[in-house]
Amino acid sequence: MSDSVFERFIKDSPISVMARATAERALNPNKIDEWFGINALVQYTKDLLFSSVFDLTSGVVSGSYPSVHAAYQNSQDEISVSVKSVYNKLNGIETGTSAGLVRYAADESAPVITELGGTQAPRLPGYRVKLSDGNRIEASEHRIGELRELAAGALPGKSLVVYDPVLRIPIDVFPCEDGHAQERSLLGDVLATVEKNDVWVADRNFSTCEFITEIADSEAFFIIR
């Protein structure tokens, strides 16, 4: 982009420029590919970079494209593999990789948000409040043949999301491929991340003896309905 065009963007839409710059810093393709090479357990990079798959799905998530296939068609000149290979790569991404990417993005974004003064004043100084809730991926019309005659759509997946009210971003996620799973089945994974002086805020689905006892044993706290 030429300097004159860039200057015009800065003048007319500074917030969008800052948001784009922040996102590109946190999710730089080279850094994402390096991160993927270290953290992925089963998948590996051959002809299709993880950053390319991330770029395609980002276009869908942001609403720029209605589907991965549409995003692929717009990027065929930059991607040397078939759309089938793209979907195979997507299908093989481990849930741990998806969760790790959220943590990575949060860690990269946190110092920028803090430096720019984008944080909220803490409600409980000296403690780190973490809001946790379940998030269900809604049923999709793009279903396998065996399920298309059923009135009830199969749920693609479920996750528990952890939100930091000071940074105002999600800082962790615990995904599950079973969309019909009970939230409590994921609490063991959540407990592994509890740290001293955390304050976990959640609804009644988190109110189990094991969960609250383990939090207390970790010298952390909870507010659970």
Write out the DSSP string of 46-75.
SSS-HHHHHHHHHHHHTTSSSSHHHHHHHT
Q: What's the N-to-C CA distance of the chain in angstroms?
A: 52
How many percent of the chain have pLDDT more than 70?
A: 88
Q: What is the band of 144 on the pLDDT scale with cuts at 50, 70, 90?
A: low
| pLDDT exceeds cutoff 70 at 143 | no
Res 142 pLDDT > 80: no
User: Which fold would CATH assign to domain 119-224?
Assistant: Nucleotidyltransferase; domain 5 (3.30.420)
187-206 residue pLDDT tens = 999 999 999 999 999 999 89
- Can you tell me the mean pLDDT for 57-66? 85
- Residues 186, 210: contact at Cβ < 8 Å? no
Say what the pLDDT of residue 181 is. 77
pTM score, two decimals?
A: 0.78
Give span(s): CATH 3.30.420, the chain: 119-224
Average pLDDT over residues 11-23: 77
Alpha carbon 22 to its chain centroid, in Å, reads: 16
